[in-house]
Amino acid sequence: MTKLRVSAAQIAVQLADIDTNIKTHQRLIRQAEQEGVELLLFPELSLTGYQLENKVPKLAMDHTDERLLALAQECPEIIVVCGFVEQASPGEFYNAMAWLHQGEVCFIHRKMNLPTYGGLAEGKLFTASDRLELQVAKPGWPTATLICADLWNPGLVHAAMLRRPNLLLAPINSADGVVSDSFSNPDGWALNLQFYAMTYGIPLVMANRCDTELDAHFWGGSRILGPRGETLALAETGEQLIWADLSLDAIGHARFELPTIRDANTPLIKSLL
């Protein structure tokens, strides 16, 4: 149980076409299974696309939706984490990631930090979650899931890391120029992810899209980082699967040398806040 093979699926997503996107998921799940992958991460909103606007209610699913459960049937051994619009109650929608395993939706993470800057206006479409929980991928591998802009709120990342996960999943939908013309999303994400991996001794999997949706170009760049911030796998352009083997021993060595979590001093931080 000290090893875990993880994978990121860098895909093209068809806007508002759940059936076509499910077929893409099925194909890459089969490929990942052939490579011995134990946990496969898809991008944010991988089943629906991103620029949904007034299509949100039509595309929303709850955790018992037959399409989600059918996709979960494709995962008797592997854990698959995919993005969808969750309907929690009439008119209440979340940008969410579903964990699928053994025919069930076994866990859901709802996005907490809804971006409302640049070309982003998720607050008009979704409800912001206030729940932060870990899910165990397998014994010894408690895992945190943070969706895209969740990772641009350092307080949310710190709160997740204080729960001592051994893996961080980072599904994103990142397009060129969406923040501003002068802000480089590819460079910004590379810095952001390497900083968190190195600082907290946390391996992470980031999955992004590689396509064009309306006026947005999604630049790919999916990657897997080790607990010292080192790159274990990096996607090239286009649709593809990347994978890497993670080790609890490597995490332990990294955290012993740089004990950020151990020395977090939560009482002091709490008093300062």
Q: What is the DSSP string of 65-122?
A: -HHHHHHHTT-SSSEEEEEEEEEEETTEEEEEEEEEETTEEEEEEE------STT--G
Q: CA 167, CA 193: separation in Å to the nearest integer?
A: 13
Which candidate, 145, 69, 63, 134, places its Cα nearest to that of 103?
69
- Whether residue 169 contacts residue 177, with contact meaning beta carbons closer than 8 Å, is answered with no
137, HSE (Cβ side, Cα atoms, 13 Å): 28
Question: Domain residue spans in the chain?
Answer: 3-272
- Whether residue 15 contacts residue 262, with contact meaning beta carbons closer than 8 Å, is answered with no
Tokens encoding 62: 């709850």
Paired strand residues for 39: 6, 79
Q: CA 228, CA 265: separation in Å to the nearest integer?
A: 22
| pTM beyond cutoff 0.85 | yes
* Residue 225: strand, helix, or coil: strand
- Whether residue 93 contacts residue 85, with contact meaning beta carbons closer than 8 Å, is answered with yes
Q: CA 126, CA 73: separation in Å to the nearest integer?
A: 28
pLDDT at 167: 98
Q: CA 234, CA 237: separation in Å to the nearest integer?
A: 10
Return phi, psi of residue 23, to 5°: -60, -40
Return phi, psi of residue 199, to 5°: -65, -40
How confident is the prediction along the chain (273 residues), in pLDDT tens digits per residue? 899 999 999 999 999 999 999 999 999 999 999 999 999 999 999 999 999 999 999 999 999 999 999 999 999 999 999 999 999 999 999 999 999 999 999 999 999 999 999 989 999 999 999 999 999 999 999 999 999 999 999 999 999 999 999 999 999 999 999 999 999 999 999 999 999 999 999 999 999 999 999 999 999 999 999 999 999 999 999 999 999 999 999 999 999 999 999 999 999 999 999
- Contacts with 212 (C-beta within 8 Å, 6 or more apart), sequence order: 218
- Contacts with 214 (C-beta within 8 Å, 6 or more apart), sequence order: 15, 51
Which fold is adopted by the domain 3-272? Nitrilase/N-carbamoyl-D-aminoacid amidohydrolase (3.60.110)
In the numeric block, the tokens 């630049």 are attached to 219
pLDDT at 200: 98
Q: CA 97, CA 27: separation in Å to the nearest integer?
A: 19
